[in-house]
């Protein structure tokens, strides 16, 4: 079990990799973000992207899955009060291989709930070592039982 005390400033986590499945990417966009450059290959050619790209929300979901599998499973996670930043730096396309990385920016015990603390985090999805998605957010984690 990973508790709040187990996170250290500067610590990094390799979240693993995923190859973007084009059918899954389009199905997500059809349901949640049906803009032409996400769902229509013909119309997407006439956009600034020159073809289909993943919805940013899809890439955010990819990051979340990698984060859950690599860090939150087996952790005393108590959710998150939210993000302070989410940036889509470069279009993601079917077939891209993305690697997740998480860095601990800061840790702070709760001032009102002694059984938990906050971990300030920076998440990234990288393609060939270059970030395509970045986010900063806070995670709440239970403290180690006495």
**pLDDT tens sequence across 66-76:** 999 999 999 99
Q: Note the pTM of the prediction, 2 decimals.
A: 0.95
Encode pLDDT of 22-59 as tens digits. 999 999 999 999 999 999 999 999 999 999 999 999 99
Residues 6+ apart with CB under 8 A from 45: 51
Residue 146: per-residue pLDDT: 74
| DSSP structural state of residue 35 | -
**% the chain with pLDDT above 90:** 99
Contact indicator for 122, 10 with CB cutoff of 8 Å = no
How much is the average pLDDT of 110-135? 97
Run of H or E residues at 119: strand 116-127
Distance, in Å, from the CA atom of 71 to the CA atom of 134, rounded to the nearest integer, reads: 17
Residue 75, φ and ψ in degrees, nearest 5: -115, 160
Encode pLDDT of 117-128 as tens digits. 999 999 999 999
């Amino acid at each position: 079990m990973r508790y709040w005390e187990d996170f250290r400033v500067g610590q990094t986590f390799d979240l693993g990799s995923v190859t973007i499945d084009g059918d899954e990417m389009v199905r997500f966009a059809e349901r949640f973000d049906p803009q032409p450059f996400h769902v229509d290959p013909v119309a997407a050619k006439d956009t600034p992207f020159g073809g289909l790209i993943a919805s940013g929300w899809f890439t955010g979901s990819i990051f979340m899955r990698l984060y859950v599998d690599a860090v939150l499973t087996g952790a005393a996670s108590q959710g998150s009060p939210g993000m302070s930043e989410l940036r889509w730096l470069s279009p993601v396309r079917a077939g891209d291989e993305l690697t997740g990385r998480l860095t601990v920016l800061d840790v702070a015990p709760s001032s009102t709930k002694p059984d938990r603390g906050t971990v300030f985090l920076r998440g990234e999805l990288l393609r060939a070592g270059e970030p395509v998605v970045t986010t900063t957010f806070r995670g709440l984690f239970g403290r180690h039982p006495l």
